[in-house]
Amino acid sequence: MSSIGGPLFLLRWKGGICPCLEKPEDKGARLGLELLSGLPLKWYRTGRDAKSIGGMVSNWFGGSSSKSQASDVDAVDSILEWIDAEKGPELQIKPQQQENPGSGLKRQSAGYIKTISLSQIDKVSKSQNDTNSSFIILQSEKKENSSNTDLATLSVPKSDSEQIKEAFTQLVEWDGRRRAAIPEEEREIDEETGFKQRAQKAAHFAKREIEMQKSRREREKRKASLVKETGGLKYTALAMANRMDDGI
């Protein structure tokens, strides 16, 4: 869900409701956002994600912590959601309820929602999982030693993997352009205040742009009507229409 006036809200709104306001370079990000919203997949909990829940349970019952055995246990059925948080667009990986074998009861796959700020994602890579699925790996680059940190590992159908990887990449590039366009002085404002101010400003300019588009269409209609009424005397009709627009 996107807050009204937030970056993701405006990305959806401009292209979905008023395409005339959408920048050509933002279309790919909007389509990517649509594809990745509510997308079902498997989230492979690794590192802290796995240790915080699965690792403790495994230790209690004397289970092995080997990667080969943990991989299936830590594959959590999840869906992706996106929100406009105070610090900017945020990805949420939401575990879904699964049927408990033998009981017919539903249980949640994992005990918490994984959240990743879009600004944290620097790189999106893909690798093969098995014959039917591929891994999509969201990574953050550590500038000091040029190594990458895996933020999340997601398993998707192999046939859809390239399209999903491209959707993530489009969103990461869009967010980079968006943040680069924010004036330096605004970046130094308190996070919450700055977000509200940017949201209000974006809503104001969007409203003004719609009004300008509406006014432009009305002028075109008047000009077309005058051309018709004057029997095709195009230049006379246009001159009359311009005089009307100038309030003469």
pLDDT single digits (tens) 5-28: 789 999 988 887 777 888 889 999
Q: CA of 79: how far to CAs of 113, 167, 193, 204, in Å?
A: 10, 15, 31, 33
**191-229 vs 7-16: helix axis angle to the nearest 10?**
20
pTM (2 decimals)?
Answer: 0.64
Q: What is the pLDDT of residue 87?
A: 86
Give the DSSP letter string of the chain: ---TTSHHHHHHHHHHT-GGG--GGGHHHHHHHHHHTT-EEEEE--THHHIIIIIHHHHHTT----HHHHHHHTEEEEEEEEEEETTEEEEEEEE-EEE-TTT--EEESSSS-EEEEGGG--EEEEEE-SSSEEEEEEEEEETTTTEEEEEEEEEEEGGGHHHHHHHHHHHHHHHHHHHHTS-HHHHTS-HHHHHHHHHHHHHHHHHHHHHHHHHHHHHHHHHHHHHHHTTT-HHHHHHHHHHHHTT-
pLDDT at 65: 38
pLDDT at 15: 81
Per-residue pLDDT tens for 64-82? 433 333 455 578 999 999 9
Average pLDDT value for the chain: 76
Cα 7 off chain centre by:
9
| Tens of pLDDT, residues 119-128 | 999 999 999 8
Confidence band (pLDDT; 50, 70, 90) for 49?
Answer: low
CA-closest candidate to residue 91, choices 143, 39, 42, 22 = 39
pLDDT band at residue 214 under the 50/70/90 scheme: confident
Least reliable range by pLDDT among 98-102, 129-133, 191-195, 216-220: 191-195
Contacts of 111 (CB under 8 A, 6+ apart): 53, 95
pLDDT in tens, 89-107: 999 999 987 665 555 555 5
Separation of alpha carbons 86 and 81, rounded Å? 16
Integer Cα distance of 36 and 164 in angstroms: 7
Q: What is the pLDDT of residue 228?
A: 67
Weakest mean pLDDT among 59-63, 146-150, 152-156, 167-171: 59-63
Cα separation, 49 vs 152, whole angstroms: 9
Strand pairing of 106-108 and 114-117?
Answer: unpaired
C-alpha dihedral over 149, 65, 40, 141, to 10 degrees?
Answer: 0
Q: Closest Cα partner for 13 from 203, 178, 229?
A: 203
Listed residue (206, 116, 121) closest to 171, CA to CA:
121
